[in-house]
Amino acid sequence: MMDRIVVIGAGVYGAAVTASLARRGARVTVVDAGMPAAGTSGATFSWTNSCGKQPRAYHDLNVAGMRAHRELAAAVTGSDWYHESGNLEWAADDAGHAKLRKKVAGVLDYGYEARWLSRAEAARLEPDLDPAQLPPHEIAFFPREGWVEPTRLIGHLLSTAVARGAEVVHADAVIAIELRGGLVRAVWLASGRRIPAGAVVNCAGPRAAEVAELAGLILPMRNTRGVLVYSTPVPVSISRVIHAPEVHLRPDGAGRILVHSQESDSAAHVSESGEISVDRSAVEKVVRAACTLYPGLRGAMVESVRVGERPIPVDGLPVLGRVATLPNFHFAVSHSGATLSLHAGDLVAAEALGEDRNDALAAFRWERLAGERPRDGQR
């Protein structure tokens, strides 16, 4: 049997890789500096989609990720973390309409499901939405899209992995990676524990560049922050992902609504002590936009505001699979982790166990970025 595989990071990618390795019979330890799902996976819009993603290989990878979610949800009795109810999107001006038309035409050309709805058709799907806020026509509907509840998904993946013998180590950061003879030999934790490793999978999300550096590798990233506003429970029917011009919404379980806007992302600030704050005015503005769209939300209050750090490799595409010059060190790092994690995580797990997955992973190797360097202010 292969030596123990160490997975670094217990978010959606780390949990997916760990579950796949355990299912394949590997001895695996997943290590996280905090708690599982406490990082980016606990503060994400988690929209499952391949809506306008380029190039074609990236689009296809996301479509396969959506299919993997669908298949897992169908296979697990009582699964409740995956919601495939579609995504509605519309624009407010001529430039936005042109951009949306181009996106719909592009995904249709790829065989992706999309169709145009009228105001009346959209209002039937979302009866609590104020129809006066909708354009008369050209409302795009992507029926196979949806969202996942990442914490519930991670809980399922890790519990099944532990049942197969996997070990979960939390609140113990990786501080060193021991290299010898051109291979990873062990991982050292802040607690002083040394874990011998036959392979390592870097699933550290926003911290992936720091973990890579421990192995002598440069992973150029351009991480961004996302500000998410969670409502108190409110009796308003929002059944799907909504991308309106000024606000994005989706349900978040137990009657709560998750609200986001691109503008509000820039309202997050980090102090010299590392504390993150969000401008109150930005939160109030995005809540007002949500209430305009769904008048029933006016009785809701803000339950919490979370700031997630999105892990984005410098060219925007995933970094997946083994490193040629350090062949038992593997990456599973990307934006769109909620969509990709099950499928891409399984591909990376298979490769970590020596299987050939080059056809699927060739476009996403770390080597394409070997000549890149982080930009100013980026990791």
Contact, 87 vs 243, CB < 8 A?
A: yes
SS3 of residue 120 by DSSP = helix
Name the band, by pLDDT with cuts 50, 70 and 90, for residue 299: confident
pLDDT in tens, 4-46: 999 999 999 999 999 999 999 999 999 999 999 999 999 999 9
Instruction: Write phi, then psi, for 90 (nearest 5 degrees).
Output: -150, 170
SS3 of residue 4 by DSSP = coil
pLDDT at 2: 66
Between CA 269 and CA 32 the distance in angstroms is 25
Q: For residue 371, is pLDDT > 80?
A: no
Between CA 335 and CA 198 the distance in angstroms is 27
Q: What's the CATH code, domain 5-48+150-220+314-369? A: 3.50.50.60
What are the residue ranges of CATH 3.50.50.60 in the chain? 5-48+150-220+314-369
- Which stretches of 144-204 are DSSP H helices? 150-163
pLDDT in tens, 197-246: 999 999 999 999 999 999 999 999 999 999 999 999 999 999 999 999 99
Name the band, by pLDDT with cuts 50, 70 and 90, for residue 378: very low
Computed over every residue of the chain, the mean pLDDT equals 95
For residue 67, how far is the Cα from the chain centroid? Answer: 15
Between CA 127 and CA 139 the distance in angstroms is 15
pLDDT at 253: 86
Residue with tokens 């002590």: 273
- Which stretches of the chain are DSSP H helices? 12-23, 56-75, 94-109, 119-125, 150-163, 208-214, 262-265, 280-293, 337-352, 358-361
Among residues 310, 315, 311, the alpha carbon closest in space to that of 364 is found at: 315
pLDDT at 33: 97
Name the band, by pLDDT with cuts 50, 70 and 90, for residue 3: confident
Write the burial class of residue 163 (CB in 10 Å: 0-12 exposed, 13-18 middle, 19+ buried). exposed
Query: Which is higher by pLDDT, 142 or 78?
Result: 142
Close Cβ partners of 59 (under 8 Å, ≥ 6 residues apart)? 50, 53, 107, 110, 112
Q: For residue 372, is pLDDT > 80?
A: no
Q: For residue 137, is pLDDT > 80?
A: yes
Between CA 319 and CA 241 the distance in angstroms is 27
Contact, 259 vs 353, CB < 8 A?
A: no
Q: For residue 272, is pLDDT > 90?
A: no
Distance in Å from the first CA to the final CA of the chain: 37
pLDDT at 379: 36
Write the burial class of residue 39 (CB in 10 Å: 0-12 exposed, 13-18 middle, 19+ buried). buried
Residue with tokens 């959606």: 12
Mean pLDDT throughout 265-269?
Answer: 93
Name the band, by pLDDT with cuts 50, 70 and 90, for residue 93: very high
Tokens (6 digits) for 163: 């049942």
Fold of 224-310: D-Amino Acid Oxidase; Chain A, domain 2 (3.30.9)
Residues of the chain above pLDDT 70, percent: 97
pLDDT in tens, 47-60: 999 999 999 999 99
| 88, 90, 138 from 122: Cα distances, Å | 8, 11, 10
Answering whether pTM is above 0.85, one says yes
Q: For residue 176, is pLDDT > 70?
A: yes
